[in-house]
Amino acid sequence: MLHLPLRYQDRTRVARIGTLRNGDEVSVEGEVIHTDITSGRRRMLVSQITDGTGVLTLRFFNFNARQQQSLGPGTRLRCYGEVRYANRGLEMTHPEYQRARDDEASTTTNHNLNEPHLTPIYPSTDGLRQFALRALIDQLVIDTKTLNVEVPEWLPQNILQSLNLPPLEGAIAYVHRPPPGASLTSLKEGQHPAQQRLAFEELLAHHLSMRRLRMQHQRHQAPRLTSVSTLTPQFIKTLPFTLTAAQQRVTNEIATDMQRNTPMLRLIQGDVGSGKTVVAALAALQAIGTGYQAAIMAPTEILAHQHLQNFQRWLVPLNLEVGWLAGKIKGKARKNVLEKIAKNQLQMIVGTHALFQEDVEFNRLGLIIVDEQHRFGVHQRLALRNKGKDQHQPNPSPHEPQNTTTYPHQLIMTATPIPRTLAMTAYADLDCSIIDELPPGRTPVDTVVIANTRRNEVITRVYTACKKQHQAYWVCTLIEESETLQCQAAQDTADQLKLELPEITVGLVHGKMKPSEKEHVMLRFKDGEIDLLVATTVIEVGVDVPNATLMIIENAERLGLSQLHQLRGRVGRGAATHSACVLLYQAPLSQHAKERLGIMRKTTDGFEVAQRDLEIRGPGELLGTRQTGIKQFHIADLQRDKHLLPAVAKTAAILLQQHQQNADAIIRRWIGESEQYSNV
């Protein structure tokens, strides 16, 4: 019953054939005056009907002898389809039709067809035809009335009245069988009160599941990380820059969280280059200063290695050991690292998914930092959290229960800004902090949009930049559906650029290379041994090369806004000179592509880019639904229905306080037991 229509057809009225226009999608009724099989380029069945006001041709490419016999002259038909002009007049190709009984024949003054409601068109699949799906759902809707079966209403009456929402059962019946005269425009836009009632409850179910998980999470214990060591002030003194006000604010929010005895679960959002890693380092020092270990997990070895270099540069001068654990570390080297982790000889551990493998045992894991969280699966994050489960607290308080499960604090970072609407819904179980200020000296990146026909100009621009001792990226996105073909395109581009720029050192990175090969090339690029790096979107996140001032993105029209923004963020990371991003496109551009590239040219604000991306692509793609587990809504649309969110949050609070059973039932109705995906 919650499998709702995509759209509707109005078959409740019959149109006169003489009034039809090209493109109309209508019902007509008339008498067959001629039926024949024509032979031309294709064999087809052609029938003509009239209602006295005009003649309409019905054309069938797939037919059988029985169908031909049923369309004999004098037969009265009711047809529904799209009207098109053809050489000989108006036509319908493969209309839906049925024989009309004489006593139901319409006249020029009575145009009501025997259809009691608008006809729904449902999402379907191969082998399941619309009429069968409609019949099944119709039977359900009818049975709830004829069998006196009620659809349970879990929203209290006072809430329904205060929000002016219709009852659920009536809303469901309406969206499946809208009455004649219902506004097709309102239904198409999802704005009808019946649709809004269902959207509200779906949003409420999701919000309730997030809130309930948060409540469950807060029942656990966590170590109080109240560091009084001198590590933090020492670290701040060594920094060659002053923390921005936003970094200081977020650092204080994290510090307050970690001083509590419940597990922190905080999301840090910050645009590319906003300084999230420094904030993470300050959080790690708070854990280490209290006698605990901290671990940071990154999705790729390239990004993890970059974190390793940063943390070694920052923490080793403070007499702290920083460990490194990745899949490529084998044998004695791995055994040595694991022993040090188990004995708390490594206070800061940096790694990839290797951090949560079975043989990794932490001594006192107090803080987990997950970078680019949307690139990890839920189970991966859970596995790392469980590494710190029930580990001994150095100084347990006698006032705190000791038989409660303890977990480490969690800090989650993302450089993909998430619009507030989306964060309120998808991350309702997290506290969110935003670093909304770039460090001084960061210069905005100039973005230009250039047709591929001007490719030679772009190559000249690359040559000029490299001759000025700067570096450049050339990103290939030729065929985003195929990694193999995309890598081949990158290889071909690299070969071509080597021929055209013989004085420039060209490197290549793509997804089919071994991690060690990719890392070797990236390190050479970072060390300045490579002038121009040709790559697939493997370099989208995290690579920090301050000397890179030029980014070329080929076939930019194929990428979404957030991905384009992430790629653009690889340049402009040094304060020495201004940087540029060139978006190369292949004409002709679709309207959506023009809109995306125009937005990139107008703004470098990641949150504005993310908001527009949400409007264009929707929440599922923006969040990375498949990996995060954040569900695609069946009915609700976060952009369209954002006005409902304040009432959703308020209603959720009331239900959790006063109507727990109702809250559980709403979650089961819309989500089932799958809300456990977010228990991180």
pLDDT at position 368, please?
93
pLDDT at position 401, please?
45
- The model's confidence at residue 180, banded by pLDDT at 50, 70 and 90, is confident
Q: What is the pLDDT of residues 223-251, one digit of tens each?
A: 999 877 889 999 999 998 889 999 999 99
Class of CATH domain 231-435: alpha beta
Rounded Cα distance, 530 and 472, in Å: 9
CATH 2.40.50.140 residue window(s) in the chain: 17-110
pLDDT at position 624, please?
42
Contact 560, 613 (CB under 8 A): yes
pLDDT at position 110, please?
34
| Weakest mean pLDDT among 76-85, 108-117, 209-218, 322-331 | 108-117
Q: What is the pLDDT of residues 37-51, one digit of tens each?
A: 988 788 899 999 999
- The model's confidence at residue 678, banded by pLDDT at 50, 70 and 90, is very low
Mean pLDDT calculated for residue range 511-516: 78
| Weakest mean pLDDT among 166-170, 402-406, 563-567 | 402-406
DSSP assignment of 181-233, as one string?
T--HHHHHTT-SHHHHHHHHHHHHHHHHHHHHHHHHHHTSB-------SSHHH
- The model's confidence at residue 677, banded by pLDDT at 50, 70 and 90, is very low
What angle, rounded to 10 degrees, do the helices at 276-289 and 245-258 form?
Answer: 30
**In this structure, CATH architecture of domain 445-603:** 3-Layer(aba) Sandwich (3.40)
Q: Is the pLDDT of residue 348 over 70?
A: yes
Mean pLDDT calculated for residue range 156-165: 94
Q: What is the pLDDT of residues 273-305, one digit of tens each?
A: 788 999 999 999 999 999 999 999 988 777 888
**In this structure, CATH architecture of domain 17-110:** Beta Barrel (2.40)
Q: 588 preceded by cis ω (within 30°)?
A: yes
CATH 3.40.50.300 residue window(s) in the chain: 231-435, 445-603
Rounded Cα distance, 20 and 83, in Å: 7
When computed from its CA atoms, the radius of gyration of the chain, rounded to whole angstroms, is 31
Q: What is the pLDDT of residues 80-122, one digit of tens each?
A: 999 999 877 899 999 988 888 655 544 333 333 457 889 899 9
Contact 259, 225 (CB under 8 A): yes
Contact 441, 575 (CB under 8 A): yes
| Weakest mean pLDDT among 188-192, 310-314, 348-352, 370-374 | 370-374
- The model's confidence at residue 265, banded by pLDDT at 50, 70 and 90, is confident
